[in-house]
Amino acid sequence: MTGQQIFLASKRAAVTYAPDPDSGELRPWLAPGGTGNVVAEQAGVLDVSWIASADTDDDHRAARENPEGLALSLGSGRRIRVQLLRHDRKTFEVVQNFVTAELLWAANNHGWDSWTTPTFGSETYRALECFDEFTRDFAEALLKSSADAPDPLYLVHDYQLVGVPQKLREQRPDAPILLFVHIPWPTPDYWRMLPKPMRVGLLEGMLPATTIGFFADRWCRNFLACVADLIPDAEVDRERGLIRRRGAVTRVRTLPLGYSPLTIAGRTPGLPDGIAEWAGDGPLVVHSGRTDPIKNAERAVRAFRLAVRSDARLRGTRMLVRMNPNRLYVEANADYVRRVRSAVAEVNADLGADTVRWHCDNHVEHTLGSFRRADLLVFNSTVDGQNLSAFEAPLVNERDADVVLSEMCGAAEVLGGVCRTVNPFDLAEQAEAIAGALTAPAAQRAEAAGRRRAAAEPWTLEAWVRSQLDALQADRRGGHE
pTM to 2 decimals? 0.95
d(CA 12, CA 35): 7
Q: Please choose, from the candidates 292, 329, 238, the residue with its C-alpha nearest in 3D space to the C-alpha of residue 110.
A: 292
Q: What is each CA distance from 35 to 39, 52, 183, 372, 387, in whole angstroms?
A: 6, 11, 10, 23, 11
What is the helix, strand, coil percentage profile of the chain, to 5?
Answer: 45, 20, 35
Residue 25 has pLDDT above 90, yes or no: no
Q: What is each CA distance from 175 to 183, 371, 481, in whole angstroms?
A: 25, 42, 15
Give, rounded to a whole angstrom, the gap between the first and last alpha carbons of the chain: 21
Strand locations in 402-465 (E)? 402-406, 420-422
Strand locations in 258-313 (E)? 284-290
**Confidence band, pLDDT 50/70/90 cuts, at residue 2:** very low
d(CA 33, CA 365): 11
Length of the chain: 481
For residue 222, the model assigns a pLDDT of: 98
d(CA 250, CA 234): 10
- Can you tell me whether residue 350 is helix, strand or coil? helix
d(CA 360, CA 88): 32
Residue 480 has pLDDT above 60, yes or no: no
d(CA 5, CA 469): 12
Segment 326-377, tens digit of pLDDT: 888 889 999 999 999 999 999 999 999 999 999 999 888 999 999 999 999 9
Q: Which sign does the torsion angle of CA 65, 45, 40, 152 carry?
A: positive
**Confidence band, pLDDT 50/70/90 cuts, at residue 72:** confident
Give Cβ neighbours of residue 367 (< 8 Å, ≥ 6 apart).
Answer: 32, 33, 288, 322, 324, 389
**Domains 5-257+463-479 and 269-458 equal at CATH topology level:** yes
- Can you tell me whether residue 79 is helix, strand or coil? strand
For residue 174, the model assigns a pLDDT of: 94
Strands 242-245 and 235-237: antiparallel
Q: Please choose, from the candidates 106, 55, 99, 63, the residue with its C-alpha nearest in 3D space to the C-alpha of residue 81.
A: 63
State the amino acid at position 117 in one-letter form.
Answer: T
Mean of pLDDT values over 8-25: 80
CATH of 269-458, one of 3.40.50.2000, 3.40.640.10, 3.20.20.450, 3.40.50.1820: 3.40.50.2000
Q: pLDDT above 70 covers what percent of the chain?
A: 96
Segment 116-136, tens digit of pLDDT: 999 999 999 999 999 999 999
Mean of pLDDT values over 231-248: 96
CATH of 5-257+463-479, one of 3.40.718.10, 3.60.15.10, 3.40.50.720, 3.40.50.2000: 3.40.50.2000
Domains of the chain, residue spans: 5-257+463-479, 269-458
Q: Which residues pair with 384 in a beta bridge?
A: 409
Work out the angle at residue 10's Cα, subtended by the Cα atoms of residues 393 and 15, and round it to the nearest 5 degrees.
65
CB 387, CB 371: distance < 8 Å? no
Residue 378 has pLDDT above 70, yes or no: yes
**Confidence band, pLDDT 50/70/90 cuts, at residue 421:** very high
Residue 17 has pLDDT above 80, yes or no: no
Segment 129-155, tens digit of pLDDT: 999 999 999 999 999 999 999 999 999
